[in-house]
Structure 1
Amino acid sequence: MKAIFAVRRHGSFVPRRPLDLNAPPCTIGARRRQTGTTGNTAVLQLASNLKRLGTETAFEVLARAAALEAQGKSIINLGIGQPDFKTPPHIVEAAIKALRDGHHGYTPANGILPLREAVAADLHRRHGVEVDPDNVVVVPGGKVTMFFAILMFGEPGAEIMYPDPGFPIYKSVIDYSGAKAVPIVLREDKEFAFSAAEVLAQIGPRTRLIIINSPANPTGGTVPRAEWDKLAEGLARHPGVAILSDEIYSQMLYGGREHVSLLQYPQLRDRVIMLDGWSKTYAMTGWRLGFAVWPEKLAATATRLAVNCHSCVNAPTQFAGMAALTGPQDMVGTMVSAFDERRRVIVSELNQIPGFRCVDPGGAFYAFPNIEGTGKTARDLQNLLLEEAGVATVAGTAFGDYGEGYIRFSYANSVENIREAVKRIKNCL
C-alpha cells in the first residue's frame, strides 16, 4: 500500500514520491535524512491494521484503461461494474429541485423519514415484507453497510464467513477488523450458487457473521429458493450468528429466475441485515446512495456509526432516491431487458474463444468464464487483454483466491462493443 504526501512550496502543493505503507515506520521519516535534506522530520507510525486493508482492482483497471485511452489506444471497457445507462431524468430533476428548494443542511443520520418510508413501501411491493422505517438506515453507498456490519461483529478471535469468489471489499474489511475470514467457496459446477449444507457445516463456535450475495458479483450466480429454505432452517441451530444479505442486484435476474430475500424468513428477521441501494437498479453509481434494513436491536447502533462516520447522506441525493422509488419504474425493465440480451450474446461469444468456458449467469451483469484452457493465469490474461487487445476485464483473483482460472466480464456495454471485444480477444490469443 502506498500513500502520496504533499508539501507546500511557494504557495502551491507539490506531490512527493509515494510512500510504502508496508515498510517499517521508521523508513517514512528516514527518507529525508537519506537525501540529505535538513530540518525536523516526523516519523509517522501508521496503524498496523491498515496493512490488512485490501482494495477493489476494478478501479485500478479503470484507471489504466483511461491512461491508455489518453495515449490514443482504443479501449472497450468490460471491466467496471456499473450500468452504461444514464440516471433517469425525473430522478435528476428531483435532486435539482431539492437544491433549489433550499435542502442544503444536515438530515437525520439514518436518512429523511419520507425516503425511509419509500424504502419500506418498495420492499413490501417487491418482497411482500413489512419493514419499520425506523429500522432503515440510509448510507452513502452499499460499502458503508458492509463496514458497519463487519465492524459490529468482527474482532480478533471472531470468524466471519464470506463468498469466494466474491466482492473483494468483504474480505478486505474482515481482515481490517481483525476477525478470521472464512471463505464460502463458490464453484463453477454449481453455477456459483452456494450449497446450504456446506455453509452450515462451516459454522463454528467463533462464527459471528455470514455474508451472502445473490445475485452475485463477480459470477452472476443466483441461489435457488430451495437452498435458501435449507439455510434458514439450518440457521435455527445457530441463534448467535448474524447474516449480511447483499441484495444490490436483486432486480437483475434472467431466464425466469426469482429473487429470494432473507427478509422473507420471519425466524431470521432479528439477525438479518439486508443491504440494497440505488446504484445498479437506477444507474446511480456515482450518486453514492444505499440503504440497509437492520434488526430492531441493531438499527440504533448502525445510526450511531453513521453519526461518527459521515453524519448523513447529502440531502438532494436523498430526494433523488425517493423519486426513484416512487416514480415510474419502466426504465428498470428496459435496462434489465437490454442486459439480458447482452448476457446471451456474451456467453455465446465467450464460449467460442479457444480456452474459454462460460456458464450461464442468472443475474447481475457479469460473465465469469473459466480461462484455464488458455494456459495463462487470470492476472496475466487480464493484463494481456488490456494492453494488447484493448479490452478491459478484471482477473478472477481480484475476487478471492478461488477466482484463479477465471476472469470477469461486465456486459454493461453495447452488443456491438461486446462482439468487437471478443473479436479482439480471439485475434490476441
Structure 2
Amino acid sequence: MKEVLITNGANANIDCLLQALCRDENDEVIFIEPFFPQYLGHAQISKATVRAVPLVVKEDNGWHLDLNILRETLNEKTRVLILNTPHNPTGKVFNLEELEQISEILEEYPNVYIIADYVYDFVTLDGKEQYMFANIKDNWNKTVTIYSGGKLLACTGWKIGWCFGPEEIIRQAVVIYDTSSYCNFVPGQVAVAKSL
C-alpha cells in the first residue's frame, strides 16, 4: 500500500499533494478554467502561484482545451497540472486524443506532475469513454489519480477519498496528511470497500 493514500474526502488528497509537490513560492500550479473552487485554497496553502488555462466553447461540439494556451502557460516554474475529467463544473470528458496531446506537450516539461482528479469518473454521459491519464505512455511516473467514495456512491457526506500514484509522491503526502488528520472515518471505508 505504498502507492495509495486514503483520506477524509478527496479534497484532503488535493491539499496534501499540492503541499508535497509545491514547496517553493516560485512553484506554479496550472488549473483548467473554470475550476473547482477548492483548488484555489489548496494552492494558496501550498504558496504556489496559480495559472489558469481556459476551456473554450466550440459551437460544433462543446468545451475544448486550447492546447496552444497550455503550451504557452507551461514553463520551468510549473510544478503541477490539475487535470479534472469529467470536468467540474462543465462535465467535459477529455477523450483519448486530447489526453495524448496533453501528454505529448508535458514531455517537454519532465518536472511537471499531474494531479488527475477523477472523482466523477463514473458519471460519464452520452456513452463517452473515460481514459486514465496515468496509463498513457509513461505518465504513471508523474501522475497521482484521485477518487471519491462519496461521489462514486452518490453519498457526498461520506468523506472517503483516495489517491494512488508513485510511491515517492504518496510518501510525502502521507506525512502531511498524518500531521493534520489522525484517522479516517472507518465505517465509511468499510462501506466503500464493500460497494466496490
TM-score between both structures, scaled by the size of structure 2: 0.92
CA shift for structure 1 position 159: 0.9
User: 1:26-74 CA deviation, whole Å, 9 max, x = no partner?
Assistant: xxxxxxxxxxxxxxxxxxxxxxxxxxxxxxxxxxxxxxxxxxxxxxxxx
User: Residue 72 of structure 2 aligns with which residue?
Assistant: 201
Q: Is the alpha carbon distance of 1:139 and 1:171 closer, same or farther for their aligned partners in structure 2, counting shifts above 3 Å? A: same
Q: In the alignment, does 2:189 pair up with 1:297?
A: no
Determine which of 1, 21, 33 is the counterpart of 1:153. Answer: 21
Letter in 1 for 2:18: I
Could you tell me which residue of structure 2 aligns to residue 277 of structure 1? 148
Taking the aligned partners of 1:223 and 1:308, their CA distance within structure 2 comes to 35
Report the Cα offset of residue 251 of structure 1: 1.0
Question: What does residue 113 of structure 2 align with?
Answer: 242
Query: What is the Cα deviation at residue 227 of structure 1?
Result: 0.8
Output the CA distance in 1 between the equivalents of 2:65 and 2:131. 14
Q: In structure 2, how many angstroms separate the alpha carbons of the residues matched to 1:321 and 1:197?
A: 40
Matched residue, 2:12: 144
On the 8 A contact 1:196/1:228 being kept in 2, the answer is no
Equivalent position SS for 2:63: coil
Offset, 1:136: 1.1
Mark the structure with the bigger radius of gyration.
Answer: 1
Contact 2:79-2:112 within 8 A present in 1 as well = yes
More RCO (CA 8 Å, sep 6+)? 2
Tell me the alpha carbon deviations over residues 210-236 of structure 1, each in whole angstroms, 9 at most, x when there is no partner. 011111111111212111011112212
Aligned to 1:105: none
What is the aligned partner in structure 2 of residue 400 from structure 1? none
- Does structure 1 residue 165 correspond to structure 2 residue 34? yes
1:252, 1:198 → 2: CA distance?
A: 28
1:312 pairs with 2:180:
no
| Range moving further from structure 2, 280-289 or 191-200 | 191-200
Matched position secondary structure for 1:160 = strand
| Secondary structure of residue in 2 paired with 1:263 | helix
Aligned partner of 1:251 in structure 2 is: 122
Equivalent-residue separation in structure 2 for 1:231 and 1:149 (angstroms): 21
Counterpart of 1:149, as a letter, is: L
Does the aligned pair in 1 maintain the 2:15–2:42 contact within 8 Å? Answer: yes
Distance 1:180 1:298 in 2: 20
Identify, as 1 or 2, the structure richer in helix.
1
Q: CA deviation at 1:198?
A: 3.0
Distance 1:151 1:191 in 2: 34
Tell me the distance in 2 between the aligned counterparts of 1:226 and 1:216. 16
Deviations 1:68-99 (A, max 9, x none): xxxxxxxxxxxxxxxxxxxxxxxxxxxxxxxx
Separation in structure 2 between the aligned mates of residue 299 and residue 172 of structure 1, nearest angstrom: 21
The separation in 1 between residues aligned to 2:21 and 2:144, in whole angstroms, is: 12
Alignment length, in residue pairs?
A: 193
* Structure 2 residue runs without a partner (length 5+): none
Paired letter, 1:311: Y
1:193 Cα offset (Å): 3.2
Counterpart residue type for residue 265 of structure 1: I
Distance 2:165 2:173 in 1: 8
Displacement after TM superposition at 1:266 (Å): 4.3
Unaligned runs of 5+ in 1: 1-132, 326-429
Taking the aligned partners of 1:162 and 1:185, their CA distance within structure 2 comes to 8
Letter in 1 for 2:142: R
Deviation per CA, 1:314-348, whole angstroms, max 9, x where unpaired?
Answer: 222211111111xxxxxxxxxxxxxxxxxxxxxxx
Please list every run of at least 4 consecutive aligned residues from structure 1 whose deviation after the TM superposition is greater than 4 angstroms.
none
Secondary structure of 2:150 counterpart: coil
- Answer 1 or 2: which has greater strand percent: 2
Identical amino acids, percent of aligned pairs: 22
The 5 A counterparts of 1:180-191 are 180-189=49-58, 191=62
Distance 1:180 1:249 in 2: 26
2:157 match? 286
Please report the RMSD computed on the Cα atoms of aligned residues, expressed in angstroms: 1.5
Counterpart amino acid of 1:192? W
Q: Which letter does structure 2 place at the counterpart of 1:176?
A: I
Residue of structure 2 aligned with 1:229, choices 100, 124, 130: 100
